[in-house]
């Protein structure tokens, strides 16, 4: 009898791979998957916050003279005094991320919630010198540096990371109405010494531009603010790297 030909016309053979071949395939798979992840990352831009100008905001918090301004708004220079009696100016926050609000120490309602949530922000960035909290009093005639110091002690305020600011009423009002847009437009009986402060926490970037408004009485909004500060810190680092390379 003739020899038997294997079914389908091919001889039995070993189709398995040895360990070295499996190892090579594994390396190629890692490189392939890593390449896909890297490609996705470089094609996905970092999240960015809008740059806000007076024309983007509720007219009720914007001075009439600025309601039509749609570009290039930055926070104006200032001279104020913090809870330690130290004079603070724009030079002290140059290049820093700022969280700004208005309050007063005898406020019986929203200021307590705002202080609680600002403590959360302070804790999140307590070791980061690039982040500064600025709380401006809406009652400068009463809130002296001594009163602010007592309030700071009651609310666990770190004097390096969080400044409670007082000063001339006109200066505080000017900043509120023409820089931060953090107080409501006045009704009847309003004068330059009056404030109707809001619950807003205002996020200012390292270039002095407005980047966001958050409800300071909301835990959810405060968490969002903390995340967005992180975004601005990355943006700040990228800008500093570009600046150093350009020199």
Q: Which of 1-15, 100-114, 145-159, 233-247 has the highest mean pLDDT?
A: 145-159
* pLDDT tens figures, 75-110: 999 999 999 999 999 999 999 999 999 999 998 888
Average pLDDT over every residue of 30-48:
71
**185-211 per-position pLDDT tens digit:** 654 333 444 556 789 999 999 999 999
- For the cut 60, the answer to whether the pLDDT of residue 182 exceeds it is yes
- What pLDDT is stored for residue 50 in this prediction? 96
Is residue 2 very low, low, confident or very high in pLDDT (cuts 50, 70, 90)?
Answer: low
Angle at 176 between CA 182 and CA 105, to 5 degrees: 75
Q: Beta strand 200-204 with 210-215: parallel, antiparallel or unpaired? A: antiparallel
For domain 54-246, the question of CATH label 3.40.30.10 is answered with yes
Nearest to 105 by CA among 140, 141, 146, 143: 143
């Amino acid at each position: 009898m003739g020899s038997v030909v294997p079914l389908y016309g091919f001889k039995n053979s070993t189709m398995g791979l040895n360990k070295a071949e499996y190892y090579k395939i594994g390396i190629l798979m890692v490189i392939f998957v890593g390449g896909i992840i890297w490609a996705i990352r470089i094609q996905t831009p970092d999240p960015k916050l809008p740059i806000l100008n007076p024309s983007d905001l509720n007219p009720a918090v914007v001075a009439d003279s600025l309601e039509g301004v749609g570009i290039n708004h930055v926070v104006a220079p200032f001279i104020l005094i913090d809870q330690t009696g130290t004079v603070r100016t724009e030079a002290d926050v140059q290049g820093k991320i700022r969280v700004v609000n208005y309050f007063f120490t005898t406020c019986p309602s929203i200021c307590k919630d705002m202080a609680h949530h600002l403590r959360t922000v302070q804790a999140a960035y307590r070791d980061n010198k690039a982040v500064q909290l600025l709380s401006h009093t809406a009652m400068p005639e009463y809130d002296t540096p001594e009163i602010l110091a007592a309030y700071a002690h009651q609310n666990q305020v770190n004097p390096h990371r969080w400044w409670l600011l007082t000063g001339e009423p006109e200066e505080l009002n000017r900043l509120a109405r023409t820089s931060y847009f953090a107080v409501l437009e006045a009704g009847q009986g309003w004068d330059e010494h009056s404030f109707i402060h809001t619950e807003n926490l205002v996020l200012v970037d390292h270039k002095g531009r407005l980047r966001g408004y958050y409800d300071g009485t909301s835990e959810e909004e405060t968490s969002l603010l903390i995340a967005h500060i992180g975004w601005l810190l990355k943006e700040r680092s990228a800008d500093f790297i570009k600046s150093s390379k350009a020199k």
